[in-house]
Amino acid sequence: MAASAPKRKATGFENAIEQLTPVELTIRGAFPPWLSGVLYRTGPGTYSIPSTSDPSKVTEIQHWFDGIAMHHRFEIHPASHGNPPRVVYRSHKGAPDLERRIADVGEYPSNLFAFAQRQRDVDPCASLFKKFFTTFAALGGAVSAMRNTDPDGKLSSVSVTMTPDMPGIRRPDNEKIYGTDRSTGPDVIVAKTDANVLQVLDPATLEPLKVLSYEHIDPRLSGQFSAAHACRDAKTGDFYNFVEEFSMQTTFKLFRIREDNGKVDVLARICEKDAPPTYIHSVTMTDRFVILCVWQAHIKQYGLSLLLTHNVADAIDKTWHPERPSVFYVIDRHNGGLVAKYKTDPFFAFHYLNAYDDPETGDVVIDLSVYPDTTVIDMLYLDKLRKPRLERVPWMGRVRRFRLSDPTKASAENQGTTATLDAKVDFTLPQSAAAELPTLAPGKHHHTYQYAYGITQRTASDDSLLSDGLIKFDMHAAAATASHGDLEGKDSKYAKIWHVPDVTPSEPIFAPRPGGTSEDDGVLLSVALDSSPEKGAGQSALVVIDAQTMEEVARAEMPVVYPFGFHGVYTPNGVAARKSAL
């Protein structure tokens, strides 16, 4: 059995079947009667593309983050009038033109920028290196350069996060009549990534409608990078993010897009020596502040190395520099302007769990899943991920709580200057409680909170892949445990686990019970792949887990293997509720 295991286990990292025609899933267990809405998810769907002229020649995607986009939709109908609950699934490729181009050319297009794909015959623009500013002009147009060879952006693969009804973006075809549930669902879904590229999707069919950039929304928002994880004010619907423009002195432009009129406010321009060009996947905020953390994933040569590599992973300086702190920039999110900055020992991260203003002290509390360096990026190449679990090493981050002393007070004490203060670390949870793809109850983003959820990786004894369970953190209990000493081995006090042998879950997305009375009153929705021997090539299912008990209550089994993806969003029916979705 062990000899055949590796092939069976890799199915979540192989080409997925596109399900254009909606298919009804097989329900097991008791779906919560109140559960009614749509779960959207996105991630890679294609990893191997045979050449059109010679199908024996296959272009292989090398890194998980470069798998070519596929978008997914699970429509959940509650039981009614004696009919049982239904879950209807469909998917749509996100970049079919890119797949066709690779098939026609027989390789990954060398003019495109990727996360980690190593292309042949990349033109390093050597002549441009002789003229720095000309070079930066070229780099500054990296996205537009791609558009020049791809005017409609159809070669863009955008599949990291999804935002329903993002401010500043309207459907390109307002007259178009489409799918069901238009009266209650979003008008558009916008797929985002870490480049300054956005893809507009039809919310019913997931058909890609248009590719654009933040620069199209406002010309001031030029730049190469942006965070895939933006922030949304649950009350106003306003949207917050940054774009990062490389230059001899890179500029991070923090901005807001207003929900009511789609207009952009540039809140701050961070252009400082300790904020070099950096790969930054997320931005966070509180009631008072937007927070940009420039951790250590610096792009070499002021960003110019991207021109040489055409991929982010190889352009990052992998030599760890312990003398270079990671820096939190705290920006007034209502009036704009840098308020304070804080440094801490260097780390790398992808995701925040949350951030909030401490109501008792005025401090800013920031929870992150942190890594000691950027090694994790190299651990997510597909040749490593496809290996049997026992041959791989743990890759997941540890949860760390940072505390920034009240920025308003700090600013006043510094008489308005932005001297760099020290961030305090309240605690770091042990590797045994490692977590990634963290999520919360939607109303708790940017506010005080108690519970967070994520995927985890605890055992090395079964056939699960990326992760082997879901974890629920009680952050109050974690803080209390930390205040009494060492956290190691104490995870039973602050963590609950959902684990089934040989099953690999995806990001758990919290669906709140309408009228719920506690923060964890609801269910987690996670698409999980069962790789147990009796499942053959594996079977995926949308699993419904009681968020209070972390016990499975129902599942909807899929006829196809769902590829391991990144992020999604749950939109309950009803316009009022959807604003809280990120």
Dihedral sign from CA coordinates of 379, 381, 383, 389: positive
First vs last C-alpha separation in the chain: 43
**How far, in Å, CA of 384 to CA of 407, rounded?**
42
| Binding site members for Fe cation | 229, 281, 351, 567
**How far, in Å, CA of 314 to CA of 458, rounded?**
29
The two structure tokens encoding residue 214: 């933040």
Dihedral sign from CA coordinates of 575, 576, 578, 579: positive
**How far, in Å, CA of 65 to CA of 116, rounded?**
8
- Please say whether the beta carbons of 167 and 158 come within 8 A: no
- Please say whether the beta carbons of 310 and 112 come within 8 A: yes
Q: Which residues have a Cβ under 8 Å from the Cβ of 541 and sit 6 or more positions away?
A: 25, 28, 527, 528, 530, 555, 556, 557, 558
Buried b (16+ CB within 10 A) or exposed e, 4-21: ebeebbbbbbbbbebbee
| Strands 23-24 and 539-546, bridge-based pairing | unpaired
Q: How far is CA 389 from the centre of its chain?
A: 24
Q: How far is CA 582 from the centre of its chain?
A: 11
Question: Which residues are 328's β-sheet partners?
Answer: 293, 342
| Binding site members | 229, 281, 351, 567
**How far, in Å, CA of 354 to CA of 69, rounded?**
27
**How far, in Å, CA of 9 to CA of 200, rounded?**
33
**How far, in Å, CA of 230 to CA of 324, rounded?**
26
DSSP 8-state symbol, 229: B
**How far, in Å, CA of 32 to CA of 553, rounded?**
8
- Shortest CA distance to 389 belongs to which of 438, 470, 454, 457? 457
- Please say whether the beta carbons of 352 and 366 come within 8 A: yes
**How far, in Å, CA of 474 to CA of 451, rounded?**
5
Q: Which residues have a Cβ under 8 Å from the Cβ of 56 and sit 6 or more positions away?
A: 50
- Shortest CA distance to 270 belongs to which of 248, 288, 245? 245
